[in-house]
Structure 1
Amino acid sequence: MSEEYEPEATRRDAGYTESSRASRGWWDRNADDYQVDHGSFLGDDRFVWGPEGLDEVEAELLGPAEDLKGLDILEIGAGAAQCSRWLAGQGARPVALDLSHRQLQHGLRIGGGIPLVQADAGVLPFRDGSFDLACSAYGAIPFVADPVKVFREVRRVLRPGGRWVFSTTHPIRWAFPDEPGPEGLTVSASYFDRTPYVEQDEEGNATYVEHHRTLGDRVRDVVASGFRLVDLVEPQWPAWNTSEWGGWSPLRGNLIPGSTIFVCERD
């Protein structure tokens, strides 16, 4: 791909392997800029569920902080392991997993002694029943073609009674342009069109893929994977948050949801 070539944005099918390859390449290329742009918002050892700034300290979606001590916790799509570092601070034993080598290098740079694993979320390199909890703050789920494959892997590595909590883009956002200003408030696409958003190079190879599931799809995926959905959280935009993050902004956040968090349990 020539240096000056701008990826072409399109809507087309993209399977699991193509999506995974595109995500790995995109995050390896963009990890440095991502950490520069968002590092201060994420902190080195905070657990933030999304651009709204909902913090696990207040949300307690994994449970009360004092109950995390001694638990084995898997973070999927961990980036630089900021959430895992916070979990370690509560006395938990986290493992941070990410597809991107470069993101994990930032985890090493920040430090903290968190075990870092490079792997695909759909093929977790752990034995059955290795963890008490699993979590993902915008990691992996928006970018995988087969979320049920990922969820079943998560269920496999969880112990009975384990909790799986993940955040992702709110499905309603698919119908709106990904813009933080007024232009992002007018419906421009069908909410029901599941065709992936793809950026591709001159040869038609995907360089970025994002997949859409409706809210009903997400619920059915959770249930089909053998989990119980115990809560669905749609964070409101807080007054203190004046920042813009891609298509997220105070303007949009006060009118339509931007994120959704699924709290699931394994029987």
Structure 2
Amino acid sequence: MQGEQALAINRSYWDAAGEVHGNGADQYYDLDALLSGRDSLSHVEDRAVRAAVGSVRDLDVLHVQCHIGFDTVSLARRGATVTGVDISPVSLGKAREVAARCGVAPSFVEGDANDLGEHLWDRFDLAYATLGVIFFVPDLTAWMRSVGRCLRPGGRLVLVDYHPLHTMFGCREPLQAVCSYDAAGPFVWEGETTTHARPSVPMPVSRLVTYRHTVGDVVTSAVEAGLTVQSLTEHTATDLECEGAAREADGWVRARIGGEPAPLLFSLLAVKAPR
């Protein structure tokens, strides 16, 4: 499948998701909580940002693949000047409405994260991309280069996403691999689709194109793009609801294989070399 065709299919999917997310029907995008002032960053996302830059106050932040802008709003509330970029005009329309209701004024730009335009280059202290990002990236090195061009020298990238070991096993019971660990794709999904926020509710679109990248791919792609990797952390617990995982007695969400916690998320911190 050609890249433009896959992009068009996924834009339609995210347009449909932008229509249904954040309308009070799901807990993942809890609009009432955001409106009341709750920060939307998860524990892992918050720790990654603080490890990368400390406070975001007075920083220029690019929120890559921002969808309906909940984290964009939260970063703006922390004092950053934030620009959210996404391929879906419907999602961006929802993001603008959400930001206005929350009393903040980030910028929102329609664009493909795999090839961001020159108007965004060399402008940002931090690029922030989290959760469900690299599934939609056909060439991870090209994505890293695209995002890296938007950073000023010395700027930081925070990438938090679902661990490929977790997504390899999906949500089936009993536990069963749905693909090989290093299967790359593209995977073209035909038929009923759902979203991470509403996994039991069918979407009004019937096609989706995804890709897989190993942890090694993530690190190697960052290096090939000229970024210096500062850390790669794998996380076996999160405060987020995750398909195929359960909230345990201590309040943390885990997925277990053979009774032992397996990685759910990873966080990559990288820096663009100073001139």
Q: Same fold (TM over 0.5)?
A: yes
Residues 232 and 43 from structure 1, CA distance in 2 versus in 1: closer, same or farther, beyond 3 angstroms?
A: farther
Secondary structure of the 1:198 match is strand
User: Which letter does structure 2 place at the counterpart of 1:129?
Assistant: D
Question: Which of 18, 27, 30 lines up with 2:5 in the alignment?
Answer: 18
- Residues 201-248 of structure 1 show CA distances to partners (whole Å, capped at 9, x for unaligned) of 6xxx9821111011111111111111111111223325xx5x744334
Where structure 2 has 5 or more consecutive residues not aligned to the other structure, the ranges are 192-204, 249-253
Deviation at 1:253, TM superposition (A): 2.5
Q: Which residue of 1 aligns with 2:267?
A: 261
Secondary structure of the 1:189 match is coil
Residue 190 (structure 1) aligned with residue 180 (structure 2): yes
* Correspondence 1:1-267 to 2 at 5 A: 14-35=1-22, 36-37=25-26, 38-40=28-30, 43-44=33-34, 46-49=39-42, 54-56=44-46, 60-65=50-55, 68-110=56-98, 111=100, 112-125=104-117, 126-138=119-131, 140-179=133-172, 182-183=173-174, 185-200=175-190, 207-238=207-238, 241=239, 244-250=241-247, 252-254=254-256, 255-267=261-273
Q: Greater RCO between the two (CA within 8 Å, min separation 6)?
A: 1
Secondary structure of the 2:237 match is coil
Task: Give the CA RMSD over aligned residues.
Answer: 2.7
Where structure 1 has 5 or more consecutive residues not aligned to the other structure, the ranges are 1-13
- Residues 44-91 of structure 1 show CA distances to partners (whole Å, capped at 9, x for unaligned) of 363425xxx5351686133222xx222111001111212121222222
Secondary structure of the 2:213 match is coil
Residues 246 and 18 from structure 1, CA distance in 2 versus in 1: closer, same or farther, beyond 3 angstroms?
A: farther
Q: How many residues align?
A: 241
Secondary structure of the 2:235 match is coil
CA distance in 2 between counterparts of 1:61 and 1:42 reads 29
Calculate the TM-score normalised by the size of structure 2: 0.77
Residues 132 and 246 from structure 1, CA distance in 2 versus in 1: closer, same or farther, beyond 3 angstroms?
A: same
